[in-house]
Amino acid sequence: MQTEKSGVLWAIGSYLIWGIMPIYWKSLEHVASAEILVSRIVWAFVLTLVVVLLMKNGRHLKADIKTLWISQRDFWALFAASALVSTNWFIYIWAVNHNYIVQTSLGYYINPLISVLLGIFFLKEKLSRAQQVAFLLAATGVTILTISYGKFPWLAFTLAITFAVYGLIKKQIKLDALRGLTIETFFIVPFAVIYYVWLFMEGNAVFLHSDIKTDILLILTGIATALPLIMYAKGVQRIPLYMAGFLQYIAPTMMLFLGVVVYKETFGKIEVLSFAFIWAALLLFTVSKLIEVMKMKKSLL
């Protein structure tokens, strides 16, 4: 029970950080999204590597890399996961700094539903009747939003799909949370460094060419990236999956609040209607999962 309580606290902590993250990225909106991304990758790698070495886990990190290299499928799958999460980070930062916070929240609301679809196709998981209805409700909400926009909400769906596929890959590769994140950033950091060198050569880099506050904020992107991911990994290892899924909605709800209330993004009657369908779908889906777990527990008694 104590382990589960600590897991809930770790998970809630990670979602609260992700929920307020738009404020952080807004403070860097004078920096190009691509530079924020490469800064995030470089400093996340430096931070996680330093922590691994301080914890005297360098030997374990080498062993993890060797094990991955032996299993070429896992090695390249993790490389693909690294590319996917980097794409997700870039789109998210760009969207926040171009006043699409509401659409980012939509993306992270849709994400668990996309994850379930991937589970059906790739892991041969089954859906109950209630969960099928939940999908229809969510699809209705997205269709309403698409028609009202006059175009497909590609930002939301790209965020949802990239993070869902990332999660699917990570689910199938067993790695320590901290060392796994170190390896992920290690895969992509050479590309980030090359891009940063090019920025400096062209005289377009903001880092070290602006005020000290901007430099500090760019360096701290490493902590802003690594900390919630590690907290999340620690949390989900200690709590049931249905509870992790339920807590997951903290972050997009906070993002939606920030987008509408703080940054005054548009949220009219059509958005309310479409989000209502999606919220109903999520509620139905979560409750059905909860009932499933409760029945399973009773059958084991």
User: Given CA atoms 237, 238, 243, 244 in this order, what sign does their dihedral have?
Assistant: negative
According to the model, what pLDDT value does residue 125 have?
A: 67
| Number of C-beta neighbours around residue 143 at 10 A | 12
Token look-up 């090359």 returns 194
Query: Long-range contacts of range 44-48, CB-CB < 8 Å, 24 or more positions apart?
Result: 44/181, 44/185, 44/221, 44/222, 44/225, 44/226, 45/182, 45/185, 45/186, 45/189, 45/222, 46/222, 47/222, 47/223, 47/226, 48/178, 48/181, 48/182, 48/185, 48/226
Integer distance in angstroms from the first to the last C-alpha of the chain? 17
Are 95 and 155 spatial neighbours (Cβ–Cβ below 8 Å)?
Answer: yes
- Can you read off the two tokens belonging to residue 118? 């991937």
| Domains held by the chain: number | 1
Instruction: Print the domain residue range for 222.
Output: 2-300
Q: Which residue has the tokens 């990239």?
A: 162
Tokens representing residue 121 in the block? 């196709």
Q: Indicate the DSSP class of residue 258.
A: I
Amino acid sitting at position 52: V
Question: pLDDT tens digit string along 76-100?
Answer: 999 999 999 899 999 999 999 999 9
- Contact (CB, 8 A) for 113 and 281: yes
The answer to whether 11 touches 235, Cβ cutoff 8 Å, is yes
Q: Which residues of the chain have pLDDT under 70?
A: 1-2, 123, 125, 149, 237, 240-246, 300-301
Helix, strand or coil, per DSSP, at residue 10: helix
Q: Of 128, 125, 118, 98, whose CA–CA distance to 160 is shortest?
A: 118
Q: What is residue 119's predicted lDDT score, i.e. its pLDDT? A: 75
